[in-house]
């Protein structure tokens, strides 16, 4: 059982298509939704309008805006300001202590990417390790750049809510005249209103960071939502969600017709 979404050029366009597809399913939920984005860093004028529409909805209903959700995956402003790998140290020394919720889950996937606990005691910087292996000319592997977010020691409990939703990232180097980075991301649970667009933007920026530091190009982004739901903020009516989808589809249609 799976629900393929028609491949899209950008993150915003893919969000609208996935939003509409899952909204049309029974119970407004689906399993194994497959989203494919050809150019995850592309942001057209129509994409900006869609992101602004989503932002307005999220802010109105007291949810994190798109950029804040994207920052949980990759803090782009920190990278731009301090460069790599210094921005990773800055995140753990100054940002993480302010945002940490509990020792189990800070709410930031970037924490687990750069400080995953190990049996030896020293946390593992999975993300920078991938960059270093891509840079290493002696490393001939194209398919061995995996990154785990799910932690069975911290994440298994009886709560139906909370905790990590992004479980695993699998990066690939696509051969060609210019090597390009592809990414497949797996989510155990996915809220398509509150989280999906910000997640796509954040994953695209993560790919851009690795590609930039590794001296390669950016390829496609594939996201598998093993469970997807059209969530509704507590303060919103179902008609508000319908209106959001309709206005975003209109923005996309106008762009295609231009």
| pLDDT over 90 at 205, yes or no | yes
What's the chain's average pLDDT? 94
Q: What's the pLDDT band for 117 if we cut at 50, 70, 90?
A: confident
| pLDDT over 60 at 258, yes or no | no
What are the structural domains of the chain? 3-257 (3.30.572)
pLDDT (0 to 100) of residue 160: 67
Q: Give helix 45-60 / helix 196-214 axis angle, nearest 10°.
A: 130
Predicted TM-score (pTM) of the model is 0.96
**Cβ atoms 110, 75 nearer than 8 A:** yes
| pLDDT over 60 at 143, yes or no | yes
pLDDT (0 to 100) of residue 161: 65
pLDDT (0 to 100) of residue 129: 97
| pLDDT over 80 at 51, yes or no | yes
How large a percentage of the chain has pLDDT more than 70?
A: 97
Q: pLDDT of 99-111, one tens digit each?
A: 887 777 788 999 9
| pLDDT over 70 at 6, yes or no | yes
| pLDDT over 70 at 257, yes or no | no
| HSE-up of residue 89 (Cα within 13 Å, Cβ side) | 5
| pLDDT over 80 at 120, yes or no | no
Q: Which two tokens stand for residue 167?
A: 């479980």
pLDDT (0 to 100) of residue 102: 76
| pLDDT over 70 at 255, yes or no | no
* Higher pLDDT, residue 152 or 245: 245
| pLDDT over 80 at 68, yes or no | yes
């Amino acid at each position: 059982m799976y629900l393929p979404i028609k491949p899209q050029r950008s993150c915003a366009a893919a969000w609208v298509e996935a939003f509409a597809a899952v909204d049309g399913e029974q119970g407004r939920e689906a399993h194994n939704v497959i989203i494919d984005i050809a150019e995850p860093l592309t942001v057209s004028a129509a994409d900006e309008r869609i992101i602004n529409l989503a932002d307005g909805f999220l802010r109105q209903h007291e949810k994190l805006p798109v950029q804040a959700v994207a920052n949980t995956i990759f803090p782009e402003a920190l990278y731009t300001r301090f460069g790599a790998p210094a921005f990773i140290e800055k995140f753990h020394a100054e940002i993480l202590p302010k945002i940490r919720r509990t020792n189990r889950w800070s709410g930031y996937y970037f924490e687990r990417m750069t400080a995953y606990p190990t049996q030896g005691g020293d946390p593992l910087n999975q993300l920078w390790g991938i960059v270093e292996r891509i840079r290493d000319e002696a490393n001939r592997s194209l398919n061995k750049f995996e990154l785990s977010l799910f932690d069975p020691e911290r994440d298994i409990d009886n709560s139906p809510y909370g905790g990590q939703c992004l479980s695993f990232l699998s990066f690939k180097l696509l051969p060609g005249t210019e090597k390009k980075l592809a990414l497949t991301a797996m989510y155990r649970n996915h809220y398509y209103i509150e989280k999906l667009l910000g997640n796509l933007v954040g994953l695209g920026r993560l790919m851009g960071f690795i590609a930039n530091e590794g001296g390669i190009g950016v390829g496609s982004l594939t996201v598998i939502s093993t469970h997807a739901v059209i969530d509704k903020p507590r303060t919103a009516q179902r008609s508000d969600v319908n209106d959001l989808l309709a206005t975003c589809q209109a923005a996309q249609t106008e762009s295609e017709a231009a």
